[in-house]
Structure 1
Amino acid sequence: MSGLVDLFSRLEYRFDDPPAIDIPSRLAAVMSDSAHPGGAGLPDESQGARILAATSIVTGFALFTVLARMYVRVFIIRNVGLDDYTMLLTMVLSLAGWAIIIPEVIYGAGRHSAYVQDTAVKAMHLNFATQAIYMWAIGLVKVSIGLFLLRFAPRKGYKIFIWIVIVLMLLYTAICFLTLIFQCKDIRTIWDQSVKSQCFSPTQLLVLSYTNTALNILTDLIFATLPAFMLRHLQVNRRVKASLVCILGLGIL
């Protein structure tokens, strides 16, 4: 599900020209440039409908999956755990992000920046909110997967390792969130270029972004491959074991 959530945060805006670099935030790059009204000859096309369609389909599928999981846990096996509650919280955040994308599209998401100058600040402000929400949603869905794997950890060593990964995920998610919030001395600079303040340099933000991406990929790989090691001594036939490894390894998605 982390891949689904990650898709939300990428389907924000469509660019037809290079982003501005005076504000160290991809939010500014989304909506700000030096183009004059008329889009420098570019057509006034909107990808808003596609953004809403894509996010609605993915969010709807995720909601169906989570509700089906909760039904099984509550009414069939009667074993609701911390991983289930964490997944529910992740789903709530995803729904909140999806709800914010709707007015975001109304204010110009999906259109060339030159055509939305009057509503750019509102659109960028909403985009900033969705980034913060989805940042925690991505982190928490990984935490939920880790908590789920704890149910099958056969040895104490595996449990300690999983808890270490969970704590590290929470720490770097918190660091990324704080970086997003405090990247400028005046937070309004992030969505309003008329507000001037000192911000992190583009290089600093790029390093943090690459670090965050690398850590996300690493945790995905860990949780995708860990079941193969945990279940290698399980006393079942190979077909059942392979099925369990594949199911538990779906966390990489």
Structure 2
Amino acid sequence: MADAALPAALPPPSGENNGTDLIKSLSVVAGFAFFFMNLRFFCKTRYAKGFGIDDAVIAMAFACLIASITLECLATRWNLGTHIWEIDIKTLPSTNKFLFIGEFFGIIGISFAKTSFCLTLLRLAVKRWHKILIWGCIISVNLFMWPCGITFFVGCTPMAKKWDDSIPGHCIDAMPVVYFAVFAGVWSAMTDFILAIFPWFLVWNLQMRLHEKIGVCVCMSMGVLSGVFAIVKSAYLIPSFADYTYKSTPLLIWSGSELAIVIMASSIPFLRLFWKEIQAKTSSSRSRSKSGYANGDYRLDHMKSYSKMGSSNHASAIRTQVRAEPKTQDDDSDKSILAQSRIMRTDEITIEHGMAKDMGHERTYEVV
């Protein structure tokens, strides 16, 4: 395979290597995906009744992302990121092996991530055509992505010739496989655009406030970025074939970013209750700060009152406290994502009167 990819006239060594860019970029996108996925699991543990199958599938997608990034970063030790004509032919089989297996996990991870997102949408779907369309996306994505990933291990006899061209044997023409990969990438982008629009039909009829609906829909529509990344990735496939050890690094970055974006887009909608709890705590802290008391007390102006039996100044104070308590409950429309929180308000009013003299005797008034 390496000999077939060499250009007719080899240019002089340039010393170019973009392997470091590959490692840095993939590490960043993996960090974002890890952060949002763990926030999703935290919210499921804190507010929901338990984990669902979509959570297990998204965890598998993240595992594929980590496996893909690890193998592709290991391939940089064998000069992935260097022009193919500058790589020692003895190390090229190791480069190919780590690269191909890493790409396999990257492609399968995209299939898992989009399946998880579709399973989340199925929990919101009510109409029959909604479910049919979502299942169509699940089946079609897996139908194209799995064969696309398997092509890294088939087409050569023996299989080891796939990454070591020096082994005796034969391989089929690789270009039809590349064209199929381009088609699978374009189809993946189409499903991303469909799934980005679909939440607006599902969430809009839920019993939620308008700004919450818009926020959830926008977050769930982040998958449109995944579609853009899929198109860009597909555009790199054919041009990178001739010098794949160097030109495939942008392809790998876009592929890893696509998978990470789907994981994040699938996780963000579950953070709604966590965000509402933060807002409630922030509002409570702000109220305590404005009151001038650490415990949130509000002091009213002192008022004067007069007694028929003798005048005296009476100091009155009203104290109000507001507490936010999250509570898990089911809602007929919104329970498919997470239960809504319950805001409990407690008002404690204290009125203290001073001492009034009544016929030479002192009396104290205190109402709580």
TM-score of the pair, normalised by structure 1: 0.79
SS in 2 for 1:83: helix
Say yes or no: does 1:182 pair with 2:163: no
What CA distance in whole angstroms lies between the structure 2 residues aligned with 1:110 and 1:174? 26
TM-score of the pair, normalised by structure 2: 0.56
Partner in structure 2 of residue 113 of structure 1 = 84
What CA distance in whole angstroms lies between the structure 2 residues aligned with 1:98 and 1:137? 11
Partner in structure 1 of residue 183 of structure 2 = 211
Q: Which amino acid aligns with 1:156?
A: R
Say yes or no: does 1:195 pair with 2:167: yes
Q: Which amino acid aligns with 1:87?
A: I
Are the structure 2 counterparts of residues 49 and 112 from structure 1 closer, same or farther at C-alpha, using a change threshold of 3 Å?
same
What CA distance in whole angstroms lies between the structure 1 residues aligned with 2:127 and 2:94? 51
RMSD of the TM alignment (CA)? Answer: 2.4
Cα-to-partner distance string for 1:165-202 (whole Å, 9 max, x where unaligned) = 21222222222233332122322222112124443324
Contact 2:96 2:163 in 1 (8 A): yes
Greater alpha carbon shift after TM alignment, 131-140 vs 70-79: 70-79
Cα-to-partner distance string for 1:86-137 (whole Å, 9 max, x where unaligned) = 1111111111122212321111011222332131111111101111111100
What CA distance in whole angstroms lies between the structure 1 residues aligned with 2:149 and 2:74? 23
Partner in structure 2 of residue 129 of structure 1 = 101
The residue correspondences of 1:1-253 to structure 2 (distance < 5 A) are 22=4, 29=5, 32=6, 40-117=11-88, 118-234=90-206, 236-252=208-224, 253=226
Are the structure 2 counterparts of residues 104 and 226 from structure 1 closer, same or farther at C-alpha, using a change threshold of 3 Å?
same
Q: Percent identity?
A: 23
Q: CA deviation at 1:230?
A: 2.2
Are the structure 2 counterparts of residues 48 and 152 from structure 1 closer, same or farther at C-alpha, using a change threshold of 3 Å?
same
Q: Which has the higher contact order (CA 8 A, sep 6+)?
A: 1
Contact 2:103 2:149 in 1 (8 A): no
Are the structure 2 counterparts of residues 215 and 111 from structure 1 closer, same or farther at C-alpha, using a change threshold of 3 Å?
same
Q: CA deviation at 1:34?
A: 6.3
Contact 2:148 2:184 in 1 (8 A): yes
Contact 2:72 2:98 in 1 (8 A): yes
Are the structure 2 counterparts of residues 196 and 34 from structure 1 closer, same or farther at C-alpha, using a change threshold of 3 Å?
farther
SS in 2 for 1:79: coil
Are the structure 2 counterparts of residues 34 and 122 from structure 1 closer, same or farther at C-alpha, using a change threshold of 3 Å?
farther
Contact 1:21 1:202 in 2 (8 A): no
What CA distance in whole angstroms lies between the structure 2 residues aligned with 1:202 and 1:21? 13
User: Comparing both structures, which one devotes a greater share of its residues to strand?
Assistant: 2
Contact 1:33 1:113 in 2 (8 A): no
What CA distance in whole angstroms lies between the structure 2 residues aligned with 1:236 and 1:85? 27
SS in 2 for 1:180: coil
Cα-to-partner distance string for 1:29-85 (whole Å, 9 max, x where unaligned) = 4xx55676xxx3232132222211111111111111111111111233233111111
Unaligned runs of 5+ in 2: 227-368
Bigger-Rg structure (1/2): 2
Contact 2:64 2:109 in 1 (8 A): yes
What CA distance in whole angstroms lies between the structure 1 residues aligned with 2:112 and 2:211? 31
What CA distance in whole angstroms lies between the structure 1 residues aligned with 2:93 and 2:9? 16
What CA distance in whole angstroms lies between the structure 1 residues aligned with 2:2 and 2:101? 20
What CA distance in whole angstroms lies between the structure 1 residues aligned with 2:38 and 2:106? 20
User: Comparing both structures, which one devotes a greater share of its residues to helix?
Assistant: 1
Q: Which amino acid aligns with 1:90?
A: A
Cα-to-partner distance string for 1:186-233 (whole Å, 9 max, x where unaligned) = 222221121244433244223312221221011101111111222344
Unaligned runs of 5+ in 1: 1-18, 23-28
What CA distance in whole angstroms lies between the structure 1 residues aligned with 2:184 and 2:134? 19
Partner in structure 2 of residue 7 of structure 1 = none
Q: Which amino acid aligns with 2:195?
A: F
